[in-house]
Amino acid sequence: MNIAIVGAGGAVGREIIDVLEGGSLPVDNLRLFGSARSAGTFLPFRGQNIVIEELTRESSFAGVDYALVSAGASVSRDFADVITRHGTVMVDNSSAFRMDADVPLVVPEINGDDALGAPRRIIANPNCTTIQMVVALNPLHRISPVRRVHVSTYQAASGAGSRAMDELVQQHADISAGKTPVVERFAHQLAYNVIPHIDVFTDNGYTREEMKMYHETKKIMHAPDIEVSATCVRVPVMRAHSEAIWVETECPISVDEARKAFAAAPGVVLVDDPAALAYPMPLKAAGSDPVYVGRVRRDLAGPGLSFWTVSDQLRKGAALNAVQIVQYIAAHS
């Protein structure tokens, strides 16, 4: 299998390399692409140093089976034709094509078949917050259809890319040294703070990040009736997003039924033993693959369930899900 990674030097790109190092795909040849900024530098893969090529309109993807693209929405829009021109399938981590009717939006545990025969040879990877939420909702949805969801997210700095991670580290260092921290990547200082604002605000008062959770959930789960109200918050955590979720299903699901369904669901690990202080936390989830679920309880204020999820958004929320899409297509074609 010949693979290309576009945005290879970024937070998601490096994570894709790490997932591939684990041997999840039979990679014969790996090509790496970036902007002029990183072109000519090298990244290690399976004992070799691979050069980062500059992505240009003249780049040829001939012979590349799959391109895993994580260089931002404008790069995806501008270069989709270059990437797919010779038959390459593009798995895109950006928001550029997610809601296009002829571009499947795929989480393999839920709607893997949608990835087969993509008409434009483009398959979109959902937003990281949506992926971890739908992986956790799906086992409940199989018992009784999900109707309404309220979710508050606690999103790590790495969700905004590698330079955002650097900024959080630098802010802590500057504050410790008595200096005024530099704020560039976020709307406000993130160190010692939380910021209830991710992506731009839309006319209805929700942010675009929150509206991604609203629209993408319906598309992935093939369930236009599911209503999602999200509040997305940036927290000074380095890796792994957390989400507090309240869910109402058509028929009530007991806590025991829910726990059993979570424990049996692909991609989910149940960590739910409050007496032993066992519940998912980002510090423990960082660098690992599953969506962790815990704090499962009957909601006191309505007819639903409340629970807590944590997942490393650079893994299942981006790199791992993209690689799993390729695995799914390869296994079914």
Ligand X SMILES: NC(=O)c1ccc[n+]([C@@H]2O[C@H](COP(=O)([O-])OP(=O)(O)OC[C@H]3O[C@@H](n4cnc5c(N)ncnc54)[C@H](OP(=O)(O)O)[C@@H]3O)[C@@H](O)[C@H]2O)c1
Please list the active-site residues.
128, 241
| Residue 59 near ligand X by CB under 6 A | no
| Residue 321 near ligand X by CB under 6 A | no
Measured from the CB atom, the residue of 111 and 127 that comes closer to ligand X is 127
**Of positions 286, 313, 320, 329, contacts ligand X by CB under 6 A:** 313
**Of positions 3, 4, 5, 13, contacts ligand X by CB under 6 A:** 13
| Residue 10 near ligand X by CB under 6 A | yes
**Of positions 31, 34, 107, 114, contacts ligand X by CB under 6 A:** 34
| Residue 11 near ligand X by CB under 6 A | yes
Stretch that binds ligand X, among 132-140, 142-150, 212-220, 314-322 (CB under 6 A): 314-322
What does the alpha-carbon distance between residue 34 and residue 263 come to, in Å, rounded to a whole number? 40
* Size of the chain, expressed as the number of residues it contains: 333
Measured from the CB atom, the residue of 96 and 140 that comes closer to ligand X is 96
| Residue 245 near ligand X by CB under 6 A | no
- Least distance CB 178 / ligand X (angstroms): 29
Measured from the CB atom, the residue of 75 and 220 that comes closer to ligand X is 75
Nearest CA among 213, 50, 29 for reference residue 137: 213
- Please identify the residue of the shown chain whose CB is closest to the bound ligand X: 10
| Residue 236 near ligand X by CB under 6 A | no
**Of positions 4, 7, 118, 258, contacts ligand X by CB under 6 A:** 7
**Of positions 84, 94, 111, 130, contacts ligand X by CB under 6 A:** 94
| Residue 55 near ligand X by CB under 6 A | yes
Per CB under 6 A, which of residues 97..126 are in contact with ligand X?
A: none
- Least distance CB 210 / ligand X (angstroms): 15
What number of other Cβ atoms are within 10 A of residue 28's Cβ? 9
Q: What is the 3-state secondary structure (H, E, C) of the chain?
A: CEEEEECCCCHHHHHHHHHHHCCCCCCCEEEEEECCCCCCCEEEECCEEEEEEECCCCCCCCCCCEEEECCCHHHHHHHHHHHHCCCCEEEECCCCCCCCCCCCECCHHHHHHHHCCCCCCEEECCCHHHHHHHHHHHHHHHHCCEEEEEEEEEECHHHHCHHHHHHHHHHHHHHHCCCCCCCCCCCCCCCCCCECCCCCECCCCCEHHHHHHHHHHHHHCCCCCCEEEEEEEECCCCCCEEEEEEEEECCCCCHHHHHHHHHHCCCEEECCEHHHCECCCHHHHCCCCCEEEEEEEECCCCCCEEEEEEECCCHHHHHHHHHHHHHHHHHCC
Stretch that binds ligand X, among 9-17, 142-150, 182-190, 208-216 (CB under 6 A): 9-17
Measured from the CB atom, the residue of 135 and 140 that comes closer to ligand X is 135
Q: Is 91 exposed, middle or buried (0-12, 13-18, 19+ CB in 10 A)?
A: buried
Stretch that binds ligand X, among 5-13, 16-24, 178-186, 254-262 (CB under 6 A): 5-13
| Residue 158 near ligand X by CB under 6 A | yes
User: Which residues sit at the interface with ligand X, rule CB under 6 A?
Assistant: 6-7, 9-13, 33-35, 37-38, 55, 70-73, 75, 93-94, 128, 158-159, 161-163, 313-314, 317-318
